[in-house]
Amino acid sequence: MQNKPIAEQEIGKLLLKETQAYAETSMCRRKALLHYFGEDYKEDSCGNCDNCRKPKKHIEAKELLCAVIETVLALKEKFKPEYVVTVLLGIRTDEVVSYGHDQLECFGSGNDEKASMWNAVIRQAIIGKFLTRDIETYGQLKVTSAGKRFLNNPKTFNIVVEYDEDELEDDDTTEIKGAGASAAADEELYNMLKDLRKKVAKKLELPPYVIFQDPSLEAMATTYPITIEELQNIPGVGAGKARRYGEEFCALIKRHVDENEIVRPEDLRVRTVANKSKIKVSIIQAIDRKIALDDLAQGNHMEFEELLDELETIVASGTSINIDYFLEEVMDPDSIEEIYDFFKQEESSDIEAAFREFGQDYSENEIRLVRIKFLSEVAN
C-alpha cells in the first residue's frame, strides 16, 4: 500500500521528537517521564535528577501561553508544534502561504521570542495539561478544557527556561550537565553498562570513552534500546559504533528489561500510537483500493460527515490521498473544477468562505470533498 510507509514514518518522527524533548528539557525529568506514561507528579521538583540538582531559571510565561493557545485555536487545532511555532515567528513557508495562515492575526505575533522559548512553552503547557498532542494525528496540538479556561482567565504560569545553542556555547558544559552526576532514569542499569564498557574497553585495549561516552550510557539507561537499530539512535552512538560495540550492550539491556518486567517508553508509545492510528491507516489503505467513501464510512460505523472529519485530519497531517475516483462518481467535472478554482484563487482555504460562496449551489459535503482534494494536491 502506497501510503502505509508514510504513516509509519510519521509515527517514527513522533517517537524521535518525544525522545528529543525528554533529552533537551530543563524541567524535572521525573515529572516529564511520568507524564510520558500518563501519570501526574504533583511536586515541582524530585530533587534527584540532574535538572533538579542544578535548578534552571524560571520566568513568568502567562502571556506566552495565551499566545500559543490562541494560535492553536486559530489553526483549528490541526497542526503540530513546529508549525505553530513557525506561525508565531511569522515565517512565510510554502505551507503557511498555501493554507493562508500568513493572513491570520496571530501570524508573527511571537517574533520577539526565539523558537526555543516557544518550544519550551509548548512542552511545559502539555505537561501542565493546557495542551495535548493527539497521537491519532501524529502529534497535532489540541487545546484542553483547562487551556480554554486559562485563556479566558489567565493566571500565573511559570516555566523553566530551556537552553538554546547560544547559551550552551557560552556556559561551562560540565557545570550544565552536573559533573559526576548521572542523568539516567535507571541508575542500576547505568552502573551495569559502565561495568560492561570497562570490560569491553579492557578486552580491546581502548579507553572506555572510545566505546561509549557517559551521556550515551545515560540515554541507554533511560530509553532501554534492545536492538542495534534502536541503539544507533542513541545520541553519540550512530550506526558504526552500534555495529562495532553494541551487541553486548543490547543483550545486557534486554536481560535487565526482562528480569525487571520493565515497560520501555518505545514499546508503550509504539503500541499506543499503533492502536490509535489504526483507523486512519485503514482509511488510507481503503482509499488506495478505491473503496467508495460512503461504503467506507458504513464499514467503519461512521456517519459520512465523521469520515470527512477523518479525511481532513489525514490531509492536514501532511498525507496525500486521491479521492478522484469517488468525486467523479458523485459530482460532475465542471462542479469540481468550479469549487477547486475557488480555493485556488482565495487567499485562504477557509471552508466558511466557500459555504458563503456556494451554499445555494452545492452541499456542505460536496464542498468539503473538493477541499480535501485541493489540500491534498496543493498543500501536500
- The answer to the question of residue 245 being in a domain is yes
Please indicate, yes or no, whether residues 237 and 298 belong to a single structural domain of this protein.
Answer: no
Please indicate, yes or no, whether residues 231 and 374 belong to a single structural domain of this protein.
Answer: no
∠ CA(275), CA(279), CA(283), 5° rounding?
145
> Where among 144, 170, 196 does a domain terminate?
170
Please indicate, yes or no, whether residues 161 and 244 belong to a single structural domain of this protein.
Answer: no
| 57 C-beta neighbours (distance < 10 Å), count | 9
Where are the alpha helices (H) located in 54-140, listed in sequence order?
A: 62-74, 81-89, 94-99, 115-127
Please indicate, yes or no, whether residues 337 and 220 belong to a single structural domain of this protein.
Answer: no
The least confident of 62-66, 286-290, 322-326 is 286-290
The least confident of 139-143, 151-155, 179-183, 204-208 is 179-183
Please indicate, yes or no, whether residues 16 and 145 belong to a single structural domain of this protein.
Answer: yes
Which residues, in sequence order, are CB contacts of 1 under 8 Å at separation 6+? Answer: 284, 285, 288
Output the nine-digit C-alpha cell for 141.
496540538
- The answer to the question of residue 280 being in a domain is no
Please indicate, yes or no, whether residues 148 and 16 belong to a single structural domain of this protein.
Answer: yes
> Where among 125, 141, 170 does a domain terminate?
170
Q: What CATH number did the domain enclosing 204 receive?
A: 1.10.150.80
Q: What percent of the chain has pLDDT over 70?
A: 73
Bridge pairing between strands 131-134 and 140-143? antiparallel
Average pLDDT over residues 81-102: 90
Burial of 49 (C-beta count, 10 Å sphere; 0-12/13-18/19+)? buried
Kindly compute the dihedral angle of the four CA atoms of residues 70, 25, 313, 337, in this order, to the nearest 10 degrees.
Answer: 70
Please indicate, yes or no, whether residues 47 and 140 belong to a single structural domain of this protein.
Answer: yes
Q: With bands split at pLDDT 50, 70 and 90, how would you rate the model's confidence at 177?
A: very low
For residues 141 and 290, what is the distance between their CA atoms, to the nearest angstrom? 31
Q: What is the mean pLDDT of the chain?
A: 78
Output the nine-digit C-alpha cell for 315.
490531509
For residues 270 and 87, what is the distance between their CA atoms, to the nearest angstrom? 29
Please indicate, yes or no, whether residues 89 and 161 belong to a single structural domain of this protein.
Answer: yes
Q: So what's the pLDDT on residue 174?
A: 34
- The answer to the question of residue 358 being in a domain is yes
Its domain, for residue 218, covers: 187-259
Task: Kindly report the backbone phi and psi dihedral angles of residue 133, in degrees, each rounded to the nearest multiple of 5, phi listed first.
Answer: -100, 120
For cell 510520558, name the residue.
Answer: 36
- The answer to the question of residue 175 being in a domain is no
pLDDT of 329 strictly over 80: yes
Nearest C-alpha neighbor of 20 from the set 128, 132, 227, 162: 162
Q: So what's the pLDDT on residue 221?
A: 86
For residues 245 and 210, what is the distance between their CA atoms, to the nearest angstrom? 10
Which residues, in sequence order, are CB contacts of 100 under 8 Å at separation 6+? Answer: 346, 347, 348, 349, 350
Number of folded domains in the chain?
A: 3
Q: How many whole angstroms from its chain centre is CA 94?
A: 21
Please indicate, yes or no, whether residues 317 and 239 belong to a single structural domain of this protein.
Answer: no
Q: What CATH number did the domain enclosing 301 receive?
A: 1.10.10.1390
**Do 130 and 146 touch, CB atoms closer than 8 A?**
yes
- The answer to the question of residue 270 being in a domain is no
Q: So what's the pLDDT on residue 183?
A: 52
pLDDT of 297 strictly over 70: yes
Please indicate, yes or no, whether residues 234 and 331 belong to a single structural domain of this protein.
Answer: no
Q: What percent of the chain has pLDDT over 90?
A: 29
Please indicate, yes or no, whether residues 323 and 356 belong to a single structural domain of this protein.
Answer: yes
Please indicate, yes or no, whether residues 323 and 232 belong to a single structural domain of this protein.
Answer: no
pLDDT digits (tens, 9 = 90+) for 25-54: 666 777 666 665 666 666 767 777 766 776
Q: What CATH number did the domain enclosing 70 receive?
A: 1.10.10.10
- The answer to the question of residue 223 being in a domain is yes
Where are the alpha helices (H) located in 100-186, listed in sequence order?
A: 115-127, 145-152, 165-170, 173-177
